[in-house]
Structure 1
Amino acid sequence: MLSFPDVAAGRIGGGRPIRRYTVLLAAVLAAALAWTGPVNTLLWDALNRALPSAPDARVVVVGIDDATLRDYGRIGSWPRELYRQALDTLEQAGAAAIGIDVLLGDPARNDAGLAAVFSRPNVVLATAPGESSVLRPDWRSPTGVSALNLSRDGIVRWFQTAYPVPDAPDGLAPSFARQLAVAAGRSVPLDLTPRILRYSAPDPQRLPVIPFRDVVNGTIRYGDVQNRVVVLGLSASGVSGPTVRDVSGQVLSGVQLQARAVSSLLSPPFASLPRWTITLVGVLAAVAAVLAGGLWGFWIALLALALSVPYWLLNTLLPGVTLSLCAVLGTGLVMLERWWTLRNTGVRDPLTGFGNRLAFTRAVEGRWQGRQSRPLGLLLVDLSGFRKVNATYGHAAGDELLRELAGRIMAHKRRGDLIFRWGPDEFAVLLYNTSPPELADLTRRVQLSLDAMTYRDLPLRASVGGASTGPEIHTPTDLIEAASRSRYRIKYQREQWRE
């Protein structure tokens, strides 16, 4: 059903400014989207690949590679003395911190002779997720959970400085990477907030992994590990295990990814904008797209994406995708507003905001079937003297007069009634669920209200006729003709009375 006076006429003489409500709706929807918006994973993956950080020279990987396994056998069967020899070599070379990303939790193989080696403050031992942080009472080196955040697609994008462990203090156990960064002198808080794992392109001028057997044999250059953080772990390609990839799609060993996590903690951390800031910017983007109109929202969306690049270089995570969606949302509402306007242009009178004859036809057709239980009434109003006002004072004066007439009719409108501009100086009121006595009373009140109308020195006369559905009314045309006869009869009687 069309009811323009109800939804479109906020004031007589013009339609309700729909743009105001479009802006309000854009602000509300954008706030909800920005507040609950998804993590911009794909955007940050792309920025991580396109703007990689330089390989961190402060972090060195010592890998238990295929050659090491051929020399010493399966990693669980070789003597623990090899770890002592490797740690002594790294200590002599001046390593700042050493992390052993090999699980040593088998109590049957805890060698008491290694207590002195595994009690050094700059040595960090790895524990499995959920495993107790105390590997052996006489091993006093700090421990950390060897874990990274693996996505469903097998890509490691995030890591944390702590992971939940029920028996740990405060329910949090520090991560292996965090403990190494602390041993290297960096202050890193414990929390469950996911942090981006920085991607670094391989450096062709630098050996990416130092073989473990070379460290055990002491055949390494001390300058490669001096004052550096050393991460020691399994890097052999022939060892079965889950496929783990970085954001570039490259398959990497866990120790290499742990080294990247340590590098990420040693580098300036990424800052996340407060949620209220993101929400405010998202609202501004959506509102700006609505106010600008057209396709400007797409340019605002592109700008939000482009701004993600300098923010990334400044170590700040700008959720450009979320902000872009807010701008596109604003543009979508502009398109919806235009569709609504075009849809209603052919059935709305621009001067009064009421429906025109086409809108009246649709309204009558929509309500006609229910006339038996809810009788329909129709008032027809015309104004004599309108053309003279136009000829004497101009069309602006005529428009002013019509707005006043529409306002007086609007004052008597009941809930469910619909008002239409029937002709240049005529109006129709479709009455909902109206009995004959109610029709007569409403006709009388509208007529009295319009009798008081004047315009400057020109006489005006309004005529109001009404009719309602009944046994003699079979079609909408019959209803219109009955109301017209009533109006002309009243008009004739008033003219006779004036004579």
Structure 2
Amino acid sequence: MLRSPEPSLRRLTLPLAVALSLGLAVALPQNIRLENALNRAFPQHLHPSTLLVGIDDASLHDYGRIELWPRELYAAALKTLTDAGAKVIGLDVLLSDPSRDDAALSSSFSRPNVVLATDPSDPFGTFSTAWRATKGVSALNPPKALGISEFQTAYPALNTSQLAPSFARQVAAVAGTPWPLNTTPHLIPYVKPEAMQNASLSFRDVVNGNVRYGDLQNRVVVIGMTASGVSGMSVPDIDGRPVAGVYLQARAVSALLSKPFVRVPLWLTALLCALTAALVIRARQLWGFVVASLALLVSVPFWMAGIILPAVTISLAAIVATGLVAFERWWTLRKIGMQDPVSGFGNRLAFTRAVEHRWPSRHARPFSLILVDIDELRRLNDRYGRSSTEEVMRDLSERLQKLKRRSDVVFRWGPEEFAVLLDQTSARELPDLVAFYQQQLAGMSYRDQALTANIGAAATNSDIQTPTDLMEDASRNRYRMKYQRGQQLFDD
């Protein structure tokens, strides 16, 4: 059996699926909405050593507006926490503006276990040089989907090439868990509001010493604004609910102190997408939907193990591969309905559609038709069997494929006939092409039997009104050739 002159679509499906899946991996390396959904579905607890000291409504009621507070209040809180044995104290309150009491408070703000927050516009802190405490920029990554879900261990400093360490990273580093400074996003695990409340103390109580020292021993304390109704202090959480920014900072610190979530790297995401697409192409049928569903389901145990799997991207790779399988099947069915399986040429239906497609432009772009058959096929079939006929037709199709010009198209017009559409060929040019075909097909034979090719031709002209007229004219010419040859043999 001859191969189709057109390349098999199946040979292209697998590399195309792999290429598209790699593109998906690059375009969608993260699935933020899936991460947020899993984060909300499986909330975490703060690291046991993490404690939040909130500047709540009661604290503001006692001490007034925070921008008017004397900084001795912070010093008093730091003293209470230090005396109680707190391991690290992170003050997530911006103290960038200088005050006349700054130098006097140098002993409080220079302790090795204190971390001070700095403004993103002044990441290295230009407040009193007498304060030698560790500094970290109070920043989180911009919201994605519903809210803020990521932070970094460092952020690019404005107008410089330096990286400024983040507040959460510096608190974790002082606590004994240093992380490299880079801009890789880290997930902020979701913690329910009631769990945050259970791990919180009031700033007022800490200042007044109304706390149990045992609750503060070896704790990593984060101090920040939690009061309601203070403008500029709320940020959107992953569920869209506005929360105090210090809540997210405390959760970021907790993430660095715990075993943080690890995202699957881009190269592995690309590999998983490519393998998924290849698997779906090999499995064929509709297995891609099963693979896509499994990818989403598998993301849950991965999440529970602390691994963030880009399951949506992998699932989309499976869906894309399934779409290619479906397209390939549709294309195959379409080709089967319009292709001769023996020669690989278009069949009579394909021929009819090709003629109808060209017919409206026949005056500007004339074309011609050649019909070819072999005289002795019935005799060969009786003598050698059906296989001989197939061999002859196969030989004829190969010859026609070599004879046709680049713009011509060959069709299997009937069981024992071929049609050649001659592009941009007028009635004046047709006789020369017919003679050329007749000369080239004159030497055909099968075993000891010489074979004769009958050729009929017709061209579009004013007398040909329909495609049917064109085919009938070519058929009449072919039968006329057979008749004239028969008469010549009879006369001889």
TM above 0.5, yes or no, is yes
1:149 aligns with 2:149: no
What is the Cα deviation at residue 379 of structure 1?
A: 0.5
Look up the SS of the partner of 1:150 in the other structure: coil
Distance 1:274 1:255, change over 3 A: closer
- Aligned partner letter, 2:141: N
Q: 1:368 to 1:69 in 2, by over 3 A?
A: same
Q: Which residue of 2 aligns with 1:3?
A: none
Q: Displacement of 1:224 after TM fit?
A: 1.6
Instruction: Please report how far the alpha carbon of residue 304 of structure 1 lies from its aligned counterpart in structure 2 after TM superposition.
Output: 1.8
- Equivalent of 2:53, from 52, 62, 70? 62
Please state how far the C-alpha of 1:265 moved relative to its aligned partner.
1.2
- Provide the C-alpha distance between the structure 1 equivalents of 2:138 and 2:197, rounded to a whole number of angstroms: 26
Structure-2 separation of matches of 1:449 and 1:280: 54
Deviations 1:127-176 (A, max 9, x none): 121125232111111111111123166511111112222366x3321111
1:5 corresponding residue in structure 2: none
Aligned equivalent of 2:417: 426
Counterpart of 1:182, as a letter, is A
Q: Could you tell me which residue of structure 2 aligns to residue 48 of structure 1?
A: 39
**Secondary structure, aligned partner of 2:403:** coil
1:172 matched to which residue of 2? 163
Structure-1 residue corresponding to 2:307: 316
Return the match for 2:127 from 120, 126, 135.
Answer: 135
Rounded Cα–Cα distance in structure 2 between residues aligned with 1:314 and 1:361: 62
Contact 1:104-1:110 at 8 Å conserved across structures: no
Q: How many residues align?
A: 489
| Residue 76 of structure 2 corresponds to residue 85 of structure 1 | yes
Match of 1:355 in 2: 346
Establish whether residue 72 from structure 1 lines up as the match of residue 63 from structure 2.
Answer: yes
Q: Secondary structure at the match of 2:485?
A: helix
Q: Distance in 1 between matches of 2:194 and 2:31?
A: 28
Tell me how far apart the structure 2 counterparts of residues 13 and 35 of structure 1 sit (CA, whole Å): 36
1:22–1:334 CA contact under 8 A, matched in 2: yes
1:476 aligns with 2:481: no
In 2, the alpha carbon distance for the partners of 1:183 and 1:260 equals 16
In 2, the alpha carbon distance for the partners of 1:269 and 1:395 equals 73
Which blocks of at least 5 consecutive residues in structure 1 are unaligned?
1-8
- Letter of the aligned partner of 1:98 in structure 2? I
Q: Deviations over 1:282-301 (max 9, x none)?
A: 12222322222221011111
Name the TM-score, length of structure 2 as normaliser. 0.92
Relative to 1, partners in 2 of residues 1:167 and 1:469: Cα closer, same or farther, differing over 3 Å?
A: closer
Q: After the TM superposition, which of the residue ranges 109-118 and 63-72 deviates more from structure 2?
A: 109-118
Cα deviation per residue 1:467-495 (whole Å; 9 max; x = unaligned)? Answer: 22234433333322332233223323434
Supply the distance in 1 between the matched residues of 2:40 and 2:144 (Cα, whole angstroms): 19
Contact 1:55 1:203 in 2 (8 A): no
**Deviating more after overlay: 199-208 vs 326-335:** 199-208
Please name the residue that 2:274 is paired with.
283
Matched, 1:36 2:57: no
Q: Secondary structure at the match of 1:126?
A: strand
Alignment of 1:25-424 (within 5 A): 25-37=16-28, 39-108=30-99, 110-131=101-122, 132-151=124-143, 155-166=147-158, 170-201=161-192, 207-241=198-232, 243-424=234-415
Partner of 1:411: helix, strand, or coil? helix
- Superposed displacement of residue 75, structure 1: 1.3
**CA shift digits 1:399-440 (9 cap, x unpaired):** 333222211111112122121111110011111011446433
Q: Distance in 2 between matches of 1:67 and 1:25?
A: 63
Kept in 2, the 8 Å contact 1:55–1:201? The answer is: no
In the alignment, is the contact (CA less than 8 A) between 1:66 and 1:238 conserved in 2? no
Residue type matched to 2:26 in 1? W
CA contact (8 A) 2:340 2:346 kept: yes
For structure 2, list consecutive stretches of 5 or more residues without a partner in the other structure. none
Partner SS state of residue 66, structure 2:
coil
Partner of 2:65, secondary structure, is coil
Q: What's the TM-score once normalised by structure 1's chain length? A: 0.90
Assess, with a 3 A threshold, how the Cα gap between structure 1 residues 153 and 427 changes in structure 2: closer, same or farther: closer
Distance change in 2, residues 1:392/1:289 (3 Å):
farther
Give the 3-state SS of the residue equivalent to 2:445 in structure 1: coil
- Does the CA-based 8 Å contact 1:35-1:276 persist in structure 2? no
* Cα pair 1:122 1:183 within 8 Å, conserved: yes
Q: Which amino acid aligns with 1:67?
A: A
In 1, distance between residues paired with 2:49 and 2:382?
Answer: 91
Letter aligned with residue 371 of structure 2: L
Q: 1:32 to 1:372 in 2, by over 3 A?
A: same
In structure 2, C-alpha distance between the alignment counterparts of 1:185 and 1:150, rounded to whole Å: 28
For residues 204 and 328 of structure 1, do their structure 2 counterparts lie closer, same or farther at Cα, with a shift above 3 Å needed? Answer: closer
Confirm or deny: 8 A CA contact 2:54 2:227 kept in the other structure. yes
Matched letter for residue 142 of structure 2: L
- Residues 385 and 14 (structure 1 numbering): CA distance in 2 closer, same or farther, change over 3 Å? farther
> Cα 1:195–1:369, aligned 2, differ >3 Å: closer, same or farther?
same
The Cα of 1:85 is off from its aligned counterpart by: 1.4
Contact 2:169–2:178 (CA<8 Å) still a contact in 1?
A: no
The question of whether the paired residues in 2 share the 8 Å contact of 1:12 and 1:403 is answered with: no
Indicate the larger mover: 317-326 or 218-227.
218-227
Distance 1:12 1:446, change over 3 A: farther
**Contact 1:102–1:234 (8 Å) recurs in 2:** yes
Amino acid at match of 1:149: N
- CA distance in structure 2 between the partners assigned to 1:332 and 1:195 by the alignment: 34
Q: Per-residue deviation at 1:242?
A: 5.8
2:458 aligned partner:
467
Note if contact 2:234-2:245 (Cα within 8 Å) is conserved in structure 1: no
User: Does 78-87 or 95-104 show the bigger shift?
Assistant: 78-87
CA contact (8 A) 1:100 1:123 kept: yes
Percent sequence identity is 52
Cα distance in 1 for residues equivalent to 2:271 and 2:482: 61
